[in-house]
A and B are shown apart, each in its own frame.
Chain A
Amino acid sequence: MITREPVITVKNMVKKFGNFIANDNLNFEVYKGEIFGFIGANGAGKTTAIRILCGLSTPTSGEMKVAGYDVFRQTEKIKQNIGYMSQKFSLYEDLTVYENIRFYGGVYGMKIAERKARTKEMLDRLGLTAYENRKIGDLPLGWKQKLAFSIAILHNPKIVFLDEPTGGVDPITRRQFWNLIYEAIEKGITVFVTTHYMDEAEYCDRVSIMADGKIVALDTPENLKKQYDAANMDEVFLKIAR
C-alpha cells in the first residue's frame, strides 16, 4: 500500500539551541501509508525532529510540510491531522479508560456518535471492554501503552507520531504493540516512529539512522543490511556508529 505520495517533506531542516546544533540540515520524505523509523542513540536529535514536525517546537530554518501543511505557518492545521504519543506515558492516571477516551475525543472535536462507535470497536479489539470504568493507574504498563496508541489514532489522523512508544515493556508486549501499528497502517494511517530498539527497526518499511544531529543512512532495512553487509539492523547500526 506504500505509494510515492509524500505526506511529510523535510528540506534542509536545521534546529539550533544556542550553539548546539540538534538537527543539522535534515532532508527526507515520508510516504503515505508507510512505517517510517527514526533510529539513533539518545541525544542524536530524534525527539527534536519529531517535536518540530508535531508543531511543539519551531525549527531554526528549513522547508517542512506535514500532511500538506507548512510547519511554520499552519501548525493548527497540522495538529488536527496528526496523532502524537510521547515517550512519557500520556494518559491521565486518575481518569478511567472511558473518561480518557471521551477527553481526547472531545479535544479532537469528534462527534459523539462517531466517538462512541470507534470506542466500542477499539475496546473490543483490545479486549478491554470489561475495563472501561477502571482507572488508568490500575492497569499494567503494556495495556496503558496499547490504549495510549489507540487513543492517539482514535480521531483517524493522517499521520501518527510515536516517540519511543515501547520504552520499558517486555518483548511480547512490544510485539503486540507492533501488531496495533500494522492495523493502523491498514486503515491508511502513516506511522512515524522513533526507537532505539533495533528489532523494531526491522519492522519499519524504511528507516533513517541519525547520529549527532545528522541523517547518516536512509533506506529499507533490507537495502541497509545489504549495503553494510550485515545480518541484522543491530549490526548495521554498530557499523554506522563506528
Chain B
Amino acid sequence: MNRFLAFLRKEFYHIFRDPRTLVILFGIPIAQLMLFGYVMTNEVRNVKIAIVDHSKDDLSKRLSQKLLSSGFFQLSAIPSSEKDYESLFRSGTVKEIIVFEPDFAINLMKTGKGGIQVIADASEPNAAQLIVNYTTAITNNFIREEFTKDQPPAGINIKVRMLFNENMRDAYNFIPGLIAVILMLISAMMTAITIAREKEMGTMEILLASPLKPIQIILGKVVPYMILSIVSALVVLALGMIVFKVPVIGSFTLLLAEILLYIFLALTLGILISTFVDSQLTAMAISGFVLMLPSILLSGFIFPVKNMPIALQIVANLMPPRWFIEINRTVMLKGGGLNEIWPNTLVLAGMSVLFIFISIRKFKIRLQ
C-alpha cells in the first residue's frame, strides 16, 4: 500500500508541475463552457431587422412594437423602397425584413387573412430558419391575443410546446454534451499521454523491473486522473445548474453513478490507446483525432445521430459519448430512470470490459 501511495504522490507532482497538463485539465473545460455558453449560441438575440409598413394602421404598428420589444429583434434600417432590400442584406445591415401589405388590418378583419411578408438572409440557413420561426411565433401570439377577445381567429391555430426544454435553451443541449466531451478529454486523453510518457522517458522499464505490480502501475497512473475527472464533472455540472439553469429532474445519484461509469470507460480507453503508442505526441494525436473530433461531431452532441447517413450512424454507435449524452439528457432533462437508460448503461459497461480485455492482451504480448 505504501508503495502505491509513493506512486500516487509522484503522479500528482507530474500533474501539478506540467503547465500543459494543467491547461488541459482546467483551461479547456472552462474555455469550452465559455465557448458553448456564450459564443456558439443558437439562440436568437438582438437580430437586426427592418420593418416596412405599407399599411401603417393601428394593428401593424402594435405588432411591430411587439416584435421589437421582444428582445429578439432590433430595428436597424427603414428601407424606402424594395430596391434597397438586397443591398441591406448584402451589406449585412439586416438579417430579416418584415413587410406589412397595404390595408393589413382591414384585410385581417374582413377575410381573416392579413398578409405579412418575411424575407430572411438564408446565406446562414439555420439562423434564418430560427429567426423566421421566432417571428412567426410572436406574430401568431399577437393575433391570438388580439382576437380571442371578440371573435375566434380564423383558420387552424397551431400551439407548439417544446417538451423538456420549453424555452429552447441552448444550455440544455450543451451541458449534457459538454460533460461527455470534457470527461473524454481528461480521462482518456490524459491517461494515454501520461502512460505514453513513462514509456517515452524509459521509466516504464524501471517501474516494471520494480516490485510494483503492473496493476499497481496502471492504477497509480489512472487514479489521479479519475479524481480530477470527477472534480471536473462536478464543476461543469454545478456551473450548468447554477449559471446556465439546467435542471436535473431525474435521480441525482443515478446521474453520478452513470458519470462514474463513463469516467471508468474513458480511463480504460486511455489505457488501451497507451498500449498502442510509445510517445506522448502520438498519444495526443490519436486521442485528439480518435476521441475529440468524433465525440463532438458524431456523438449527437451537435448533430442528431438519427439524421446521419447509415455508415456514419454505425461509426457514431461505436463512440462512447453517443451513449452517455443520451443518458445525461434522459436523466437531467426528461427525468428518466434506469428503466429508460439501461441499454445505454449496458453498452458503456460492455465497452469498458472490452477495452480492459484488449489492454491486458496487448500488455502480455509486450512482455513476451
Q: A93-B201, A109-B2 are in contact. Are A55 and B10 (CB under 8 A)?
A: no
**A77 to chain B: closest residue by CB:** B211
Tell me, yes or no, whether B14 is within 8 Å of chain A by CB.
Answer: yes
**Counting CB contacts under 8 A, is A82 at the interface?**
yes
Q: Is the CB of B205 within 8 A of A94?
A: no
A90, B201: Cα distance in complex, Å: 7
- Find out whether the CB atom of B212 lies under 8 angstroms from the CB atom of A107: yes
Pair A57/B3 contact, Cβ less than 8 Å: no
Given A99-B13, A108-B210, A57:B205 Cβ within 8 A: no
A80-B210 Cα distance, complex, nearest whole Å = 7
A55–B213 alpha-carbon span in the complex (Å): 12
CB-CB under 8 A from B2, the residues of chain A are 106, 109
Contact B209 A84 (CB under 8 A): yes
Kindly list chain A residues whose C-beta atoms are within 8 Å of the C-beta of B210.
Answer: 79, 84, 104, 107-108
Residues of A within 8 A of B202 (CB): 86-90
Q: Is there an interface contact between A106 and B209, defined as CB atoms closer than 8 Å?
A: no
Please, which residues of chain B bring their CB within 8 A of the CB of A102? 6, 9
Are A107 and B367 in contact (CB-based, < 8 A)? no
Nearest chain B residue, comparing its CB with the CB of A54? B209
- In the assembled complex, which residues on chain A have CB atoms less than 8 Å from the CB atom of B208? 55-56
The answer for the CA separation of A80 and B209 in the assembled complex, in Å, is 9
In contact, A108 and B211 (Cβ under 8 angstroms)? yes
- In order of increasing CB-CB distance, the 6 nearest A-B pairs are A106-B6, A88-B202, A84-B209, A90-B206, A54-B209, A80-B211
B14-A92 in contact (CB<8A):
yes
Q: How many A-B residue pairs have CB under 8 A?
A: 80
A58 within 8 A of B: yes
Cβ-based interface call for B7 (8 A): yes
Q: Is the CB of B10 within 8 A of A105?
A: no
Minimal Cβ-Cβ distance residue in A for B216: A107
Residues of A within 8 A of B9 (CB): 102-103, 106
Min C-beta distance of A80 to chain B, whole Å? 5
Collect the chain A residues with CB atoms within 8 Å of residue B212's CB: 107
Interface string of B1-31 (1 = CB under 8 A from A): 0110111011001100110000000000000
Q: Which of A57, A85, A95, A106 has the most CB of B within 10 A?
A: A106
Whether A94 contacts B13 by the Cβ 8 Å rule is yes
User: Does chain A have a CB within 8 A of B203?
Assistant: yes
A84–B205 CB distance below 8 A:
yes
Which among B17, B201, B210 has the highest number of chain A CB atoms within 10 Å? Answer: B210
**B111 interface residue (CB < 8 Å to A):** no
Q: Is B81 an interface residue (CB 8 A)?
A: no
**B6 in complex: contacting residue of A56, A89, A107, CB < 8 Å:** A107
Compute how far the CA of A58 lies from the CA of B7 in the bound complex, rounded to whole angstroms: 25
Contact with B along A41-77 (1 / 0, CB 8 A): 0000000000000111110000000000000000010
B211 & A88 in contact (Cβ 8 Å cutoff): no
Report whether A107 and B209 are in contact in the complex, using a CB–CB cutoff of 8 Å: no
**8 Å CB contact of B5 from A58, A91, A106:** A106
Known contacts A105-B6, A107-B6, A107-B212: does B205 contact A90 (CB below 8 Å)? Answer: yes
B307 within 8 A of A: no
Q: Contacts A99-B10, A103-B10 hold; do A109 and B205 have CB atoms under 8 A apart? A: no
Q: In the bound complex, what is the Cα–Cα distance between A108 and B7 (angstroms)?
A: 11
Q: Tell me if B368 counts as interface (CB < 8 A to partner A).
A: yes
Contacts A76-B211, A79-B211, A108-B211; A56 near B13 (Cβ below 8 A): no
Known: A80-B211, A88-B201, A109-B3. A94 touches B18 (CB 8 A): yes
**Residues in B neighbouring A88, C-beta threshold 8 A:** 201-202, 205
Decide: B367 and A58 in contact? CB cutoff 8 A: yes
Q: How far is the CB of B273 from chain A (nearest CB, A)?
A: 22
Task: Supply 22 A–B pairs (Cβ within 8 Å), ascending by A.
Answer: A54-B209, A56-B205, A58-B367, A76-B213, A79-B209, A80-B211, A84-B210, A85-B206, A86-B205, A88-B205, A90-B206, A93-B201, A94-B14, A103-B6, A103-B7, A103-B9, A106-B2, A106-B9, A107-B6, A107-B207, A108-B210, A108-B211
